Amino acid sequence: MAESIRVENVTKEFTLRYHRTFKQVTVALARGRQLSDTFPAVDDVSFTVSQGESIGLMGLNGSGKSTLLKMINGVMRPDHGTVRTRGRIAGLIATGAGFHPQLSGKENIMLNAAILGMSENEIARKYDDIVDFAEIPTKFLQTEVGHYSSGQSARLGFAVAIHVDSEIFLADEVLAVGDKPFKKKCLERMEQVRDSGRTLFYVSHAGGSVKRMCNRVLILEQGRLIFDGDVKEGIKVLKYDDERPEDEEHFDSDEELGADI
């Protein structure tokens, strides 16, 4: 199988600035205190992903999952090492980011889709599908998004993101919003994405949904890749499996649909 993501010795360091203003900096210098400190958010991580694989990226809060995803997505650049991808990248990352509260639903769909890399034709072609998926009444589409309920605008963001054509599909903060039927619909849609042969990269704390969606797990701990392999073993490493017995696993369980923030 062809490779689709190659991450080689990637390190990303963040700088902690303790003192920002002129006054604070002067005081800190006078007292001989440290002005800033760096820490590796992602530390020397390497892996390759073949096309069609579905990867679950797991780890505790602050372990570097989102930073790694941002580097694959091209939002951030690594300090050391290289990230290379083949094919278009899209996904459910920060859905609805850039929604402008004073623009109508329709205008926001178009703007958001364009930010995600859709062309004018592609947007025109998929507009109706997006509206259908978001289940937003037509009369609302002409009103300002600022007047939408938070669930409605979240659904709109979701609907746009999930309709972007791509060979690599990244999913973060998925299923944190929306009501149960909508969450279910999204999960099913993601399964379609996986089954269509696209590479799936899924960040989640919900062991159940990772088990259901993925065939390989990567685990980060304080920026380091500590596990790369089988899903069940990975969940054991994270000790996410002792929360409830295996046989209770069914689709509607909250563990599977769980909020990811």
Partner 1 sequence: MTDSLQASADSSVEPAYDLGEDRPWEDPAPSRGLLEVFRRRYLLKLLVRREISARYSGSFLGLIWSYINPLSQFFIYFAIIGVIFQLHDSIPNFPIHIFSAIIIVHFFTETFNAGTRSIVRNKAIVKKMAVPAEMFPVASMLVSLYHVFPQLVILLVAVLFMGWTPTLSGVLAVAIALTIIMTLGTAMALFFSAANVLFRDFASFVNILTNFVRFGVPMIYSYTMVGDRFGRFADYYVLNPIADAVMLMQHAFWIGTLTEAELNFDDKGQAVDRLPDHLFTLGFTMIGVSLLVLVLAQYVFSKLEKQIPERI
| CA dist 68 → 9, 25, 188, 221, 223 (Å) | 12, 31, 25, 12, 9
Site stretch for partner 1 (CB under 8 A), options 80-88, 149-157, 214-222, 252-260:
80-88
Burial grade of 80 (CB within 10 A; 0-12, 13-18, 19 or more): middle
9 lies in the binding site for partner 1 (CB under 8 A): no
124 lies in the binding site for partner 1 (CB under 8 A): no
From candidates 26, 102, 142, 150, binder to partner 1 by CB under 8 A = 102
37 lies in the binding site for partner 1 (CB under 8 A): no
Which tokens is 59 given? 């780890």
29 lies in the binding site for partner 1 (CB under 8 A): no
Q: Which is nearer to partner 1, 42 or 225 (CB)?
A: 42
Q: What angle (nearest 5°) sits at the alpha carbon of residue 9, between those of residues 200 and 39?
A: 100
Compose the 210-229 pattern: x for residues touching partner 1 by CB under 8 A, - for all others: --------------------
Q: Which is nearer to partner 1, 187 or 237 (CB)?
A: 187
How many CA within 13 A on the CB side of residue 116? 32
Compose the 146-185 pattern: x for residues touching partner 1 by CB under 8 A, - for all others: -----------------x-x-x-------------x--xx
Q: What angle (nearest 5°) sits at the alpha carbon of residue 161, between those of residues 10 and 256?
A: 80
Burial grade of 194 (CB within 10 A; 0-12, 13-18, 19 or more): buried
Site stretch for partner 1 (CB under 8 A), options 23-31, 121-129, 220-228, 236-244:
121-129
**What is the CB neighbour count within 10 angstroms for residue 17?**
11
Contact yes or no for 209/80 (Cβ under 8 A): no
Instruction: For residue 205, give every residue at least 6 positions away whose Cβ sits within 8 Å of its Cβ, in sequence order, or none.
Output: 58, 240, 258, 260
From candidates 19, 80, 106, 189, binder to partner 1 by CB under 8 A = 189
Binding site for partner 1 (CB under 8 A): 2, 4, 6, 14-15, 51-52, 70-77, 82-87, 89, 93-94, 97-98, 100, 102-103, 107, 110-111, 114-117, 119-120, 126, 128-129, 132-133, 135, 163, 165, 167, 181, 184-185, 188-189, 192, 196-198
